[in-house]
Amino acid sequence: MTATARRRVVFTALYFSEGAPIGFLWWALPTRLRAAGVEVSEITTLLGILVLPWAFKFLGAPFVDVVRTPRWPLRAWIAACQLLMGACLIPTLLLDWRTDFAAIAALLLLHAVAAAAQDVAVDAYALAVVEPAHRGAINAWMQAGMLTGRAIFGGGALLLDARIGPQATLVMLIAAIWGSLGVLAWLGDAEPERTATVAARRREVMAAVVEVLRRRQTWMVLGFAAIGGAGFEAVGLLVGPYLLDRGFSQEQIGAFLFLPTVAAMIAGAGAAGLLADRIDRRYAAGGSLVAMAATIVALAGAGAAPGWVILALLVLMYFLIGAMTTASYTLFMDLTDPRLGATQLSAAMSATNLCESWSAFAVGRLTQSLGYGPAFTWMAVASLLALPLLAGLPKPARSG
């Protein structure tokens, strides 16, 4: 197996293990709660809290950069986080999701902390071992892995609930998280040599942090990441409740989230991955953002349209989610200082998670007072505020 093919396998598997729990929490859980009669504002508040570890993972990222030695490389970080992620889910098999909800929520929060730390290490590992010319393509493979995990444990979980029960689904989820450990050990690339001692790494990282914080482009990247995805994050978080309130059944929603949406995102990621390795990555990210906002506005205005029109617009939106995510993440990698592979890249990723968190709170309250259509429109408009920040970034040296 060639080095390129090996890396595709490794990062697809790692991102599958990242996407699986996110699909369960973000896609299956909201639909279940809405079907049980929980208000949209309460659902979005819960999701907004669970996403906070991802939003603030940059606070712990310098620790990953510092404690990154020949004896404890990034692969050790990844393995430790995955073990903790699965361990946090095991007790939920013995608890009742209604009467023991507080305990389960605490376990899910700890699981989210471990998952966010895993994200930091995986992204830094990708930056360390993937050549710049292949970053667009490898991001497409990573997105494909993540989206497949989301599909199986998001929409797929809704379909499987009636057949195998929620506990069996959780057992499958734990197996999915731990399954990538073997792939990482078998196929993982060795990282480039780093400064050996923790003290030396601390001095190196702190000096690099000060330097990066002085750069104007650092703050523009963070601003773009925190705003650009507001529209699709808002619609994505409420797609289950929205379709349920439009008259679709839980089984229909599960089938839609299981295959059409994920296939569309994988196709969008693949198209953007190829494009981002050939043109200026700012254009790839900005073009997909504008198309995304236009699609969401069209969806917002299609309240009385037939169901197939709604689903077609959502499929287009999910295609653009895959495209924008891949193009943006590739751009973030290009603008990251290699000395801060965990810290700087995770800061940009944290900003995208912060976008998801504030979008959840905002769209929940807008929907409660204005309805789905106006809420989606305002969130799409908010996304467009990121365009001037994108235009102000320097052309990445590795763009086409």
> What's the confidence (pLDDT) of residue 186?
74
pLDDT of residue 400 exceeding 70, the answer is: no
**pLDDT grade, residue 127 (50/70/90)?**
confident
Give Cβ neighbours of residue 249 (< 8 Å, ≥ 6 apart): none
CATH number belonging to the domain at 3-391, selected among 3.40.50.1820, 1.20.1250.20, 3.40.50.300, 3.40.47.10: 1.20.1250.20
**pLDDT grade, residue 375 (50/70/90)?**
very high
pLDDT, tens only, 133-160? 777 788 888 888 888 887 788 777 777 7
Specify the range with the lowest mean pLDDT, choosing from 22-36, 48-62, 91-105, 305-319: 22-36
For range 339-363, the mean pLDDT = 80
Residue pair 12/188 in contact by the 8 Å Cβ criterion: no
> What's the confidence (pLDDT) of residue 35?
65
Euclidean distance between CA atoms 149 and 112, whole angstroms: 16
Euclidean distance between CA atoms 147 and 18, whole angstroms: 9
Q: Tally helices (H) and strands (E) across the chain.
A: 20, 0
pLDDT of residue 187 exceeding 80, the answer is: no
Task: Copy the structure tokens of residue 127.
Answer: 């930056």
Higher pLDDT, 156 or 321: 321
Higher pLDDT, 216 or 193: 216
Q: What are the domain boundaries of the chain? A: 3-391
What single letter denotes the amino acid at residue 207? A
**pLDDT grade, residue 33 (50/70/90)?**
low
Q: pTM, whole model, 2 decimals?
A: 0.70
For range 155-179, the mean pLDDT = 79
pLDDT of residue 303 exceeding 90, the answer is: no
For range 118-131, the mean pLDDT = 83
